[in-house]
Amino acid sequence: MAAIKPFSITTLLLMIFIITMTMISQTSSKESNQSNQVFYLHDVTNGPNATVAQIVGITGKVWSYNTFGTFIMVDDPITLTPNQYAVQIGRAQGTISVASMDGSTVIIVLSFVFNNVQYNGSTLELQGASRQRENYREISVVSGTGRFRFAKGYAVFETVSYDPTTTRSLIRVNVTIN
């Protein structure tokens, strides 16, 4: 028995070593496949060229981004640079619903629908809660189609600028997917 014991411990250590190395190599291969892409959304809330619209809300209340129960439709142009006249590579289309009683949290369900040469016909699906009054808002990337099938990751939304006269916002979206 005494002769077998040290051998068992060696085997055990070897097994732990192999398992650890496998885990490390899996982690590093996962990390090496992470990709990062920055997009810009151009959002206009008022006027003839508005890209968002409040479509329904609670009767008797003002339908707004700050009112619980308001449902908003979005169709924002997407570009790769902050310039509003840059080539559009797609549209960010979906809904925003004001989901918290104090109006601070909205639930975003958004598809990035690409129409540029590289990603034409592909989509990225973003979904989750957004604390809209904070500057950095993280939303999950739940899936995609075409080039982005099985995409998983997160997107950081950040309002870069807002012009109250034109009601135009520039929103940077930093997408990290595996």
**Distance, CA of 158 to CA of 168 (rounded, Å):** 14
CB-based contact 123:115 (threshold 8 Å): no
114-137 in b/e form (b: 16+ CB < 10 A) is: beeeebeebbbbbbbebebeeeeb
| Member of 1, 3, 8, 48 binding ligand NAG (CB under 6 A) | 48
Closer to ligand NAG by Cβ: residue 33 or 135: 33
38 near ligand NAG, rule: CB under 6 A: yes
Binding to ligand NAG (CB under 6 A): which residues in 108-137? 115-117, 120-121
Closer to ligand NAG by Cβ: residue 90 or 94: 90
Give least dist CB 175 to ligand NAG, A.
8
CB-based contact 110:130 (threshold 8 Å): no
What is the size of the binding site for ligand NAG (CB under 6 A)?
Answer: 15
174 near ligand NAG, rule: CB under 6 A: yes
CB-based contact 157:139 (threshold 8 Å): yes
149 near ligand NAG, rule: CB under 6 A: no
Binding to ligand NAG (CB under 6 A): which residues in 64-93? none
CB-based contact 161:16 (threshold 8 Å): no
Q: Which span sits near ligand NAG by CB under 6 A: 25-33, 63-71, 83-91, 144-152?
A: 25-33
**Distance, CA of 148 to CA of 112 (rounded, Å):** 11
- Give me the residues that bind ligand NAG (CB under 6 A), please: 29-30, 33, 36, 38, 47-49, 115-117, 120-121, 174, 176
